[in-house]
C-alpha cells in the first residue's frame, strides 16, 4: 500500500492518480494526448513569440504557459508537460531540428558517442516546476518520455516516416549495436523521467508510438524489456511513481505488456476494442483511451455516440478518458469543448 500512502500524503485526491491506483472515481478523469498544440490559436500565438518549436520547448515560462493553455480552456484533469520526445536524443548529443511546417530532422548518429547531459534538459524540469506551482492541487502534472524503441526509430531514420524500414533492418542486421543504443536510451529515459517526477510530475507516460511495427520476438526485446527496466528502476529511485505505458499498435500483445511491465495505466490506441482490452487485462490496471482523433476532429453525432460508448464500457472500472493518439491539428477547439462538457456531465 506504499503507493496509496504516498499519493494521499502528497496529492489532494487527484482523480487521475486515484484511477492509476485502481480506484473507480465518481467522475471519469480526462486529458488528451497533444492537448497543447497547433489546433489552439493561443498556442499558435505563443509559438510565434518563441521563434521555433524547440525554442518554445526550452523556454520554461513559455513551455509552462503552453502546458497550461488547454487545462484552462477545457478544465482537463491533467496537464501534460509541453516538451517533445526528441529533446532526449538532443541532450545525448545528436543534432535535432524542426523546419517550419515539416517534421523533425536528426543529424548523423554515432552510438558510441551518445552521452546524456542532463544539464541541457534543466529548462524542461524548470517548466515542470512552474506548471506544478500554477496547477490547483486536484490536477495532475504528467511527465513523459519517448520509449527507447520509438526514440531509436527517429535517431536511426533521421526523420519520422511512419514505416521506419531502415531502423527495423538495422535492429535485425546489427543487433549488438542496436542493443547498445537501446541500453543507453533505457538509462537516459529513466534519468529523464526521474527528474520530471522530482520537479513535480505526479505520473509519467512512456510513449512507444511505433511499438506496433514489431513482430512479437522483436517486441519482447525492444519494447517489453526496456519498459520493464524503466518502470522498475524509476520506482527504485522514486518509489510509487505511477507509469502509464502506451505501446501504440501493440494489438494482441497489449495484455502481456500490461502484465509484464508493471505499469499502473495502459494507453489503448483507437484500433484496439476497449471491451476486449478490459477483458484481457483484468480489473486492476487502469485503462486510458481511446477515442479516435478523427472522430474528435469530425465532431457532431459521431462524437456524441462514440463518447457514450466508451463511457459505458468504462463505467465500473478504473479509467482515464483520452484519445487513442494525439489531437489532429485541424481539430476545431469547439469539438474539444463539447467533449469536455460531455465528460464533466457524466457520473458513474
Ligand atoms: O508547433 C509545432 O509545429 C510542433 C508540433 C509539435 C508539438 C505541439 C511537435 C513536433 N511536438 C509537440 C509536442 C509534443 N510532442 C507533446 C506535448 C504535450 C502534449 O501532448 O500536449 C508530446 C507529449 C509529444 C510527444 C511526441 N513527439 C511523440 C509521441 C506521441 C505521438 O504523437 O506518437 C512523437 C512521436 C513526437 C515526435 C514529433 N514531434 C513533433 C512532431 C510533428 C512529431 C512526429 C513526427 C512524425 O513521426 O511525423
Sequential pLDDT tens for the chain (348 residues): 344 444 444 557 999 999 999 999 999 999 999 999 999 999 999 999 999 999 999 999 999 999 999 999 999 999 999 999 999 999 999 999 998 878 999 999 999 999 999 999 999 999 999 999 999 999 999 999 999 999 999 999 999 999 999 999 999 999 999 999 999 999 999 999 999 999 999 999 999 999 999 999 999 999 999 999 999 999 999 999 999 999 999 999 999 999 999 999 999 999 999 999 999 998 889 999 999 999 999 999 999 999 999 999 999 999 999 999 999 999 999 999 999 999 999 998
Give the contacts of 86 (CB within 8 A, at least 6 positions apart): 96, 104, 106, 146, 151, 154
Q: Is residue 292 annotated as a catalytic residue, yes or no?
A: no
User: In the prediction, which pLDDT does 284 show?
Assistant: 84
d(CA 30, CA 288): 9
Extract the C-alpha cell encoding 156. Answer: 536511426
- Measured CA distances, 249 to 99, 208, 286, 336 (Å): 28, 9, 18, 24
- For the chain, state the CA radius of gyration: 19
User: In the prediction, which pLDDT does 7 show?
Assistant: 45
Residue having the nearest C-alpha atom to atom 39 of ligand 1: 84
Q: How far is the CA of 84 from the centre of ligand 1 (A)?
A: 6
- Give helix 254-261 / helix 225-237 axis angle, nearest 10°: 30
Give the contacts of 302 (CB within 8 A, at least 6 positions apart): 295
Q: Is residue 248 annotated as a catalytic residue, yes or no?
A: no
User: In the prediction, which pLDDT does 102 show?
Assistant: 85
User: In the prediction, which pLDDT does 101 show?
Assistant: 79
Task: Indicate whether residue 38 lines ligand 1 (CB < 6 A).
Answer: yes
Q: What is the pTM of this model?
A: 0.96
Q: Determine phi and psi for 66, rounding to 5 degrees.
A: -60, -35
- In sequence order, what E strands does the chain have? 78-80, 96-98, 104-106, 140-146, 203-208, 243-247, 265-267, 286-291, 319-323
Task: Indicate whether residue 34 lines ligand 1 (CB < 6 A).
Answer: yes
Beta bridge partner(s), residue 144 = 205
Residue in 78, 80, 85 to alter for ligand 1 test, most ligand atoms within 8 A of Cβ: 85
Amino acid at each position: 500500500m506504499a503507493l496509496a500512502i504516498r499519493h494521499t500524503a502528497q496529492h489532494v485526491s487527484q482523480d487521475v492518480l486515484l484511477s492509476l491506483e485502481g480506484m473507480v472515481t465518481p467522475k471519469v478523469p480526462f486529458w488528451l494526448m497533444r492537448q497543447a498544440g497547433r489546433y489552439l490559436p493561443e498556442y499558435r500565438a505563443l509559438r510565434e513569440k518563441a521563434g521555433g518549436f524547440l525554442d518554445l520547448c526550452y523556454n520554461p515560462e513559455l513551455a509552462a504557459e503552453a502546458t497550461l493553455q488547454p487545462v484552462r480552456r477545457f478544465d482537463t484533469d491533467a496537464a501534460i508537460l509541453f516538451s517533445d520526445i526528441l529533446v532526449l536524443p538532443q541532450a545525448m548529443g545528436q543534432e535535432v531540428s524542426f523546419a517550419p511546417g515539416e517534421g523533425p530532422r536528426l543529424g548523423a548518429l554515432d552510438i558510441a558517442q551518445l552521452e546524456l547531459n542532463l544539464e541541457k534538459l534543466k529548462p524542461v524540469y524548470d517548466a515542470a516546476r512552474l506548471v506544478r506551482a500554477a496547477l490547483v492541487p486536484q490536477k495532475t502534472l504528467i511527465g513523459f518520455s519517448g520509449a527507447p524503441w520509438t526514440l531509436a526509430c527517429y535517431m536511426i531514420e533521421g526523420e519520422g516516416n511512419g514505416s521506419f524500414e531502415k531502423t527495423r533492418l538495422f535492429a535485425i542486421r546489427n543487433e549488438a549495436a542496436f542493443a547498445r543504443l537501446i541500453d543507453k536510451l533505457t538509462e537516459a529515459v529513466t534519468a529523464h523521467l526521474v527528474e520530471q517526477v522530482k520537479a513535480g510530475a505526479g505520473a509519467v507516460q512512456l510513449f512507444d508510438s511505433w511499438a506496433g511495427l514489431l513482430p512479437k520476438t522483436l517486441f519482447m526485446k525492444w519494447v517489453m524489456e526496456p519498459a520493464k527496466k524503466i518502470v522498475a528502476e524509476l520506482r527504485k529511485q522514486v518509489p510509487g511513481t505511477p507509469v502509464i505505458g502506451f505501446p501504440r499498435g501493440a494489438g494482441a500483445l497489449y495484455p502481456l505488456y500490461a502484465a509484464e511491465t508493471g505499469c499502473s495505466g495502459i494507453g489503448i490506441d483507437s484500433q484496439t476494442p476497449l471491451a476486449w482490452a478490459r477483458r484481457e487485462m483484468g480489473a486492476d490496471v487502469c485503462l486510458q483511451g481511446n477515442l479516435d482523433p478523427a472522430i474528435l476532429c469530425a465532431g457532431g453525432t459521431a462524437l456524441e455516440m462514440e463518447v457514450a460508448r466508451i463511457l459505458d464500457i468504462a463505467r465500473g472500472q478504473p479509467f482515464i478518458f483520452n484519445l487513442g493518439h494525439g489531437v489532429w491539428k485541424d481539430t476545431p477547439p469547439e469539438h474539444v469543448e463539447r467533449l469536455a462538457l460531455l465528460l464533466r456531465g457524466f457520473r458513474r
